Structure 1
Amino acid sequence: MSSKKLLFGFMPISLIWGYIAIAIFMAGDGFEIAFLSKYITDMRFSQEQASFVFTVYAFAAAIAAWSSGVIAEIVTPQRAMLMGFAIWVVFHVLFMIFGIGMHSYWLMVLFYGLRGFGYPLFIYSFIILIIHNVPEAKISTAMGWFWAAYSVGLGTIGGLLPGYTNPVMGETGTLWFSLIWIVIGGLLALFALRKVKIDEEKANLPVQEKMQELTRAITILFTNKYIFMSALIRIINTVPLFGVAVIMPWFLEGDPQHNLAGLGFSNTEWQQIWALFLTITIFTNVLWGIMGDHIGWLRQVRWVGCIGGVFSCLAFYYVPLHFGHNYYAAMIPAIMLGITVAAFVPMTAVFTTLEPHHQGAAVSIYNLSASLSQSVATAIAGLAIGFVGISGVLWIYAGLYVFAAILTYFIKVDQPKLVKTAKI
C-alpha cells in the first residue's frame, strides 16, 4: 500500500466516502431510537411490550452482525452492503404501512425485527474493507474514525433532528423521513466503494469451503478463549448506551400509564441530551482510537471504559434525581458516558490481532457482540425494571462494567506498536 494513497497517515482516500456514507446511513437508522419506545407506549401498549419490540429487533441485528464479517469476505463487502441496504428499505416500508399505520403490535414486532437484519450487514461489512486496507498498527485509529462517523449519524443527526421534526411532522412523519437518509447513504456507499480493493481469496472459495468459513464465526468462540472473553467485554461495552435510550424517557418525561411521574423533562429536551451524548462520542471515538494505539488497547478499556463507565451509569440516575428538572445538570451523565463508552474502540484491533488468519470470523464475533449488546440492554430493562426500578437497572449495568474490567486482566494480546516499542 503506497503511503501516497493514505490520508492522515493511515486512511486510504478511497474509503473516505464510505465513512461519509456510514454517517448518513446511521442518521436514518437512528431517528427512532430515542422516541420509539415511548411512541409505542403512547399507543397504549405496555413498557414490557415496547421493550420486546426492541429485543426482537436486537436479536435479528445480532444474527446479521454475527454473519456479516464472514459474509463480507465470502461474497465481497460491497455485495454484503447492498444486501443490508435492500433489507432495511423493504422492511422499514412494511413496518410503517402495516405495523405503525395499522397500530398492529405483532406486525410491528415482525417487520421491525426483520429490518434489524439490515443495518449490521451494511455497516459492519465496511469494517472488512477497513481491515483489508489499513495497516495493522493503525486499525484502532481507523476504527476510531469509523465509530466517529457512526456517532455523527446516530447522534448528531439521528439523535438531534427528531427533536425538531417530531413537533412539526409527528413521529410517523419522522420515521418516513428516515428512509430518505437511508437511501442517500446506501446509494453513496454502493457507488463510491465499488472499486475499493479487497482480498478476494475467500470470495473465490468453493461453496463448501465458504460454509466452513461461516461456521468458524461460531467455533472460534470455543477454540480461542481470548476471543470469548473479548466478546463478553464488547457486549458489555454499549449495554448502557442502548439501555438508557429505552429507560430514560420514562424516568425523565414520565409515563402516566404506568404511574411514573417523571421529572418534568420534555421529549425535545431528552432528545437534545441524547444527541449531546452521541455528539461527544464523535470526538472521543477519534481520541481513544488514537490513544489506544499508544497507551495500550486493554489498559485503556479497563480504566477508562470499564471503571469510568461505572460512574457514568450511576450518574444517569443520581444526578437528575438530585437536581430535578435541570436541563444542564442532566447533560453531565451524557457527557460522562460519551467519554467512557468510546474508550472501547480498540476492541476491534484486539479481535483481529487474536485471529490474524481468520479476521472475517473474528470481526463476525465482534459484530455479534456489538449487536447482542442492544439485546442484553433491552432484556435487562424489560425484565428488571418491574422489580428494581430505573435505579436498579442502572446498578446492574454498572456491575457488568466491573465484571468486564476483571476480564481484561485475563486476555493476552500482542499489540503491534507496543511490541515494536519494547524491542527498541
Structure 2
Amino acid sequence: MNQGVLGRFGMDSKMAFGYLGVLLFMIGDGLEQGWLSSYLLDNGLTIQQSALLFSVYGLAAAIAAWLSGVLAEILGPRKAMTLGLGLFVLGTLVFLTIGIPTMNLAIMIPTYSLRGLGYPLFAYSFLVWLTYYAPSKKLGTAIGWFWVAFAGGLNVLGAYYSSFALPILGEMKTLWSALIFVFLGAIFAILLNKDDSINNKQFKTKADVFKYMATGITIAFKKPKVGLGGIVRTINTAGAYGFVVFLPAYMMDIGFTRMEWLQIYGALWSSNVIFNLIWGFIGDKLGWRSTIMWFGGVGCAIFTAALYYVPAVMGPNYMATLLAAICFGACVAAYVPLSALITSLAPDNKGAAMSVLNLGAGLSTFIGPVIVGIFIGSVGTVGVIWIYSGLYLLSAILTKFITLPQEQEKSQSTYFNTLKDASGSYK
C-alpha cells in the first residue's frame, strides 16, 4: 500500500492502518446486531427486558460519543482509543462469563453498557485525529473514508461474518470471537498507525480539564452554528434507526418475504458504505453545505417517502423497492461532509465540536425509535414516514444557516473552479 495507490483514492498512507483498525474493531462490535435480541428472548428474557438492555446500551453509547471528542484532546487520540478498547474488553468478558449464563439483568445491563461506552471512544477518537491531520481541502474525503470503515464493519461485514460463523461456532463462541476483531483493530489503529503529529492539550489543573470537557456542550451555545450541526446530525440517521422498528412489518404486510426484506435492508447499508466515500469526494469539490442540503436533506426526504409509496403503489416489487432503499442509503451518506463543515467552524476546538456531532449521532438512536413509539398508533405508518420526511427537509433548511467563514467558502469555491477550468467539466 503505497502513497501513490492510496492517494488516487484520497487516502493518506500514514492513516491507512487507522482506517483498517476501525473497520476491524467495528466488525467485532457489530457482529451481534442482527440476532442477539432474539437469542436473549429464546433464553429467558422478556421483550421488555431486552428492550431495556439495548436502551441503556444506546444511552451509554450516546454519552461516550459526546465525551470522545474532548477526551481525544485531553488524553490524546491514542490514549482515548486505548481507554475505549479497555472498556469494551472488560464489558465483554463479564457479560459473556457471568451476564448471559445467569441471564441476570443486574449484571447484563452495566456490562453490556461498558461495550456501549467503549466503541465510540475508540472509533470517534480516531475521527477527531483525522480532523486535525487531514488538510482542509481533503477533509471531506478523509472523513468519508472513516465512515466507510465504521459503517462497513458495523452494519455490513459484522452481519455477514455472523451469518457464516453462527452455524459453525454457535452464538456464544461467535460473541467471544468479537475480541479477536477488536484486538486486531487496536493493533492496527493504535500501534501501527503512523501519524504522530497530534499531541494532547496541556492543562495546568483538574479544574481546567473539567472546564474543557464542558466545552463539549457549551460550544453549541457559544457557536450556534455548531449547535445546528448537532441537530442536523441527530436527524441524519434518526430515520434509519426508526425504520427497523416498523418497516419490516409493513413490508411483510405488503407481501415481501422476510428474506427479501433482509436483502433490501442489507442493500440499503451497503449503498450507504459505498456512498460515504463518494460524497466525501463530491463534498470537497461541490461544497460541503450544498452536498448536505440537497443530496442529504432533500434526497432523504424524497426516498423516505419512496420506501413507503413504492411498495404501496407497486406491491411487493422487489427491484423497485430495492432501488428506493439503495437511494435512501446513499442519501443518508450525503451528510458525511457535516463533520468537515462543523470542525472548520471551531478550528481551535475541533474535539469539542466533534463531541456535539457525536452526541447527535448517539441521540439519533433514541429519537428514531421514539418517534415510532409516540406517533404510529395515532397517524399510522404513512404518518410516521411523513414525520421523518419533514425532519429531513428541516435538516436541509438548518444546514443553509451553517455557513463557513467567508475566506473558507471562497477557498472551496476557488478550488472547485480550478478543477472545472482544468478539466472543462465537472466530473
Instruction: Output the TM-score relative to the length of structure 2.
Output: 0.86
2:35 aligned partner: 35
Whether 1:357 aligns to 2:356 is no
1:341 deviates by 0.4
AA aligned opposite 1:265: T
The 2-side partners of 1:186 and 1:116 are apart by 17
Q: Secondary structure at the match of 1:34?
A: coil
Show CA shifts across 1:145-173 (max 9, x none): 11111222123312333334445555445
> In structure 2, how many angstroms separate the alpha carbons of the residues matched to 1:282 and 1:208?
41
Change (3 A) 1:319 1:191: same
Q: Indicate which of 250, 253, 265 corresponds to 2:257.
A: 265
Cα distance change of structure 1 residues 153 and 318 upon mapping to structure 2, 3 Å threshold: same
1:91 CA drift (Å): 1.1
C-alpha distance in 1 between matches for 2:250 and 2:165: 23
Residue equivalent to 1:202: 201
Which of residues 392, 399, 403 in structure 1 aligns to 2:394? Answer: 403
Q: Secondary structure at the match of 1:292?
A: helix
Distance in 1 (CA, whole Å) between partners of 2:286 and 2:269 is 24
Q: Does 1:162 align with 2:167?
A: no
Task: Give the AA of the match of 2:224.
Answer: K
State the number of aligned residues.
413
Residue deviations 1:363-419 (CA, integer Å, cap 9, x gap): 111111111111222333444445555444433322211221221222222376641
Task: Say if 1:141 and 1:163 are closer, same or farther in 2 by CA, change over 3 A.
Answer: same
Structure 1 gaps of 5+ residues are 254-260
Matches within 5 A, 1:8-407: 8=8, 11-40=11-40, 49-105=49-105, 107-193=107-193, 196-200=195-199, 202-203=201-202, 205-252=204-251, 263=255, 265-266=257-258, 269-321=260-312, 327-407=318-398
Give unmatched runs, 5+ long, in structure 2.
418-427
What's the secondary structure of 1:357's corresponding residue? Answer: coil
TM-score normalised by structure 1 residue count: 0.86
2:231 maps to a residue whose letter is L
Contact 2:80/2:122 (<8 A) preserved? yes
How far apart are 1:346 and its partner, in Å? 0.7
- Is this contact kept in 2: 1:263–1:324, CA < 8 A? yes
Q: Structure 1's 5 and 313: CA in aligned 2 closer, same or farther, altered over 3 A?
A: closer
Match of 1:256 in 2: none
Secondary structure at the aligned position of 1:161 is classed as helix
Change (3 A) 1:26 1:272: farther
User: CA 1:207/1:9 → structure 2, altered by over 3 Å: closer, same or farther?
Assistant: farther
The CA deviation at 1:272 is 3.5
Give the whole-Å Cα distance in 2 for the aligned partners of 1:46 and 1:334. Answer: 31
Deviation larger for 200-209 or 28-37: 200-209
Runs of 4+ more than 6 Å apart: 3-6
- CA drift of 1:14 comes to 1.6
Letter in 2 for 1:156: V
Q: What are the Cα deviations for residues 215-243 of structure 1, in whole angstroms up to 9, with x where unaligned?
A: 11111111111111111001110112222
Distance 1:420 1:122 in 2: 32
Alpha carbons 1:22, 1:150 under 8 Å: kept: yes
Q: Equivalences for 1:413-424 in 2 at 5 Å?
A: 413-414=404-405, 418-420=409-411
| SS of equivalent to 1:153 | helix
Counterparts of 1:245 and 1:119, CA distance in 2: 22
Which residue identity is paired with 2:140? Answer: S
Identity of aligned residues (%): 37
Give the CA deviation at 1:45.
5.5
Task: Tell which deviates more after alignment, 339-348 or 48-57.
Answer: 48-57
Using the TM superposition, name which of 403-412 and 383-392 deviates more: 383-392
Give 2:184's aligned amino acid: I
Greater Cα offset, 125-134 or 242-251? 242-251
Corresponding letter in the other structure for 1:14: K
Q: What's the offset of the Cα at 1:205?
A: 5.0
Question: Which range is displaced more, 58-67 or 313-322?
Answer: 313-322
Distance 2:163 2:390 in 1: 32
Deviation at 1:329, TM superposition (A): 4.4
Q: CA deviation at 1:107?
A: 4.0
Instruction: Provide the alpha-carbon RMSD of the alignment.
Output: 3.0
Residue 146 of structure 2 aligns with an amino acid whose one-letter code is F
Deviation at 1:187, TM superposition (A): 2.7
Identify the range of structure 1 (46-55 vs 304-313) with the bigger mean alpha-carbon deviation. 46-55
For residues 262 and 164 of structure 1, what CA distance do their matches in structure 2 show? Answer: 30
> Could you say what secondary structure the match of 2:32 adopts?
coil
Residues 10/284 of structure 1: CA separation in 2 closer, same or farther (3 Å cut): closer
Q: Which moved more, 1:149-158 or 1:205-214?
A: 205-214
Contact 1:37 1:246 in 2 (8 A): no
Once residues 164 and 383 of structure 1 are traced to their aligned partners in structure 2, the CA distance between those partners, rounded to angstroms, is 37
